Structure 1
Amino acid sequence: MELIKPYVPAREYFVEISAVKRIRDGLDYTMNFGEPVQVVSDPGHGKTTALYYLAKELGGVYCLAGQAHKTVPDMYRMLLAAFEIYHDCTYTRDLYNVLVRKLARTDWDRQHNPRRLLIVDEIQTLEATAQRELQNLQETCDLALIMSGNGSRLAKSKVDQSAWKQVDERLGMKIQLPKLDRRDCDVIGAAYGVEGMDAYEAIGNFGMRTTARHLGRLLREAKMLTTGTGGIRLQHIKTVMKAKPDQADLRLLRPEAA
């Protein structure tokens, strides 16, 4: 099964904003205690970027769930592909057994190695029963598990409702990611090479009223206007916004009215 690769900015633009620090808290928890952690945020808060790069940093496995993975057997196939486990199985039980044989933590592992880290992003794409079976696998293999998404879910039947209840009861921690604050905007701006107090003031006002995704896109495009000869100044930011119909309101760069 082919895995979905997320779109994330270059590694040099991945910085320690508040959302990243909260995710690190969840990672420490699941690595130490072996309980699954749910990370929830609205789109654009930096969740996917943080999870992708933190998985790499910690030697974990990152999966981006899509419609092709929403059922239990397809979720198992996604995990087999992500862990690079070869198999020629067709039936759901056989897929599960292969995963358990390869991923189960032995007594020697418990004494000498940290838990394997598995991050499943856009978890809301998976059906209720698939999420429940993901947690069953996590418990059986003693994995560190992050389940991340926007928090939405659809219960189509009593079976789904029962599965959702089991999923919620097994969560060790639930993290709601914060919006950008001014310090976050400053850190992001520094990574992109913003210069000038007026420019930092503007991106702070913009970032706190939009999202990390919008701010990153604005700064990437503003950086192109510098032609590599200097930092991003306020005029570069204004030029980008004037050229984009969805961001043409320059009032986003000013402080909100009290």
Structure 2
Amino acid sequence: MNEQIVRRSGTGFVDIAASREILKAMEIARDIPAYPVLINSKPGMGKSTALRHYAKTMEAFYCEVGQPSKGMKGMLKMIVEATGGSAYNQYSADLADTAEERLKGCWSWSQRPILIMDEVQMLELAPLRELLRLQELSGCSLVLSGNDKRLARTQSHDSALQQIVSRLGMRVDLGPPTEEDCCSIGIDFNVEGREAYEALRRYGRQTSVRDLVRLLNFSGKMTGGHGSIQLHHLKTAFLTIYGSKKDLKLLAG
């Protein structure tokens, strides 16, 4: 492998094992729309970045559940607006009808719409059930993404989770980046040197994609914008982030 390649894209998206699994899941959801897919991981494993990327390339509708959208009205409003509709001054019952109409209206002659619901564990129980109902009524393909252990934080949510699991067409469980992933991300940031790549592999396997990218962003600043990222840049960035030499074993073994 050539370890002296200049940074390639700068888009924030690198093709890694997690993104390939996510693409496979989205394709299955598209091709067999009666069955939702669930992409499950701890935070920081790269699922949201990949989902946003593929939402654009596959013309899917991306929704990310947050505090304002975890309730019924907030979720329905988010779906309506993601599909290009207006949710202004509508009641929840009207929004449910509008969301269904929007999803049905987004069918093309050859393909059903794909609805991505990211951070689904944030949804309250009623909107979670409504989401499944909307998928049935509209016939859209549904991609759920989040942390199912957090989703099952109450008994009621656990029963809702079991309802989802019983209908799944595919479940993807994402873990830490592979050694190959760490190298691919390092190449994208113009990392140079065998020792630097060994440190990246060690660090990435013990943390997450998010932590690895943060380390590389800080390391890039340490170069002053000139030249490649080397091991000493990684160590300096690490100490800047963590402030403790005792944790350097994450890099140095």
TM band (smaller chain): 0.7 to 0.9
Distance in 1 between the 2:19 and 2:232 partners? 30
Cα distance, 1:190 vs structure 2: 0.5
Matching of residues 144-155 of structure 1 within 5 Å? 144-151=141-148, 152-154=150-152
Name the structure 1 match of 2:249: 251
Letter in 2 for 1:20: S
Name the structure 1 match of 2:173: 176
Assess if the C-alpha contact under 8 Å between 2:80 and 2:102 holds in 1: no
Matching of residues 175-254 of structure 1 within 5 Å? 175-245=172-242, 248=245, 249-254=247-252
Change (3 A) 1:115 1:252: same
Instruction: Give secondary structure in 1 for the equivalent of 2:191.
Output: coil
Name the structure 1 match of 2:6: none
Name the structure 1 match of 2:66: 66
Unaligned runs of 5+ in 1: 1-9
- Alignment size in residue pairs: 242
Cα distance, 1:100 vs structure 2: 1.9
Cα distance, 1:12 vs structure 2: 2.5
Letter in 1 for 2:238: M
Q: TM-score, normalised by structure 1?
A: 0.86
My pick for the range that moved more, 166-175 or 48-57, is 166-175
Cα distance, 1:174 vs structure 2: 1.3
Name the structure 2 match of 1:3: none
Name the structure 1 match of 2:51: 51
Change (3 A) 1:83 1:229: same
Cα distance, 1:86 vs structure 2: 1.6
Q: TM-score, normalised by structure 2?
A: 0.87
Q: Identity of paired residues, percent?
A: 35
Distance in 2 between the 1:13 and 1:102 partners? 30
Assess if the C-alpha contact under 8 Å between 1:218 and 1:240 holds in 2: yes
Distance in 2 between the 1:95 and 1:122 partners? 21
Change (3 A) 1:196 1:136: same
Assess if the C-alpha contact under 8 Å between 2:152 and 2:161 holds in 1: no
Matching of residues 109-124 of structure 1 within 5 Å? 109=107, 112-124=109-121
Assess if the C-alpha contact under 8 Å between 1:31 and 1:117 holds in 2: yes
Cα distance, 1:156 vs structure 2: 5.3
Letter in 1 for 2:21: R
Which structure's relative contact order is higher, taking Cα pairs within 8 Å and 6+ residues apart?
2
Name the structure 1 match of 2:3: none
Assess if the C-alpha contact under 8 Å between 1:36 and 1:172 holds in 2: yes
Change (3 A) 1:182 1:156: closer
Change (3 A) 1:122 1:247: farther
Unaligned runs of 5+ in 2: 1-8
Distance in 1 between the 2:140 and 2:243 partners? 43
Name the structure 2 match of 1:135: 132
Distance in 2 between the 1:88 and 1:65 partners? 19
Candidates 110, 123, 127, aligned match of 1:126: 123
Distance in 2 between the 1:56 and 1:67 partners? 24
Instruction: Give secondary structure in 2 for the equivalent of 1:244.
Output: helix
* 1:167 pairs with 2:164: yes
Assess if the C-alpha contact under 8 Å between 1:199 and 1:233 holds in 2: yes
Distance in 2 between the 1:118 and 1:247 partners? 43
Name the structure 2 match of 1:41: 41
Cα distance, 1:11 vs structure 2: 5.4
Cα distance, 1:189 vs structure 2: 0.3
Assess if the C-alpha contact under 8 Å between 1:129 and 1:163 holds in 2: no
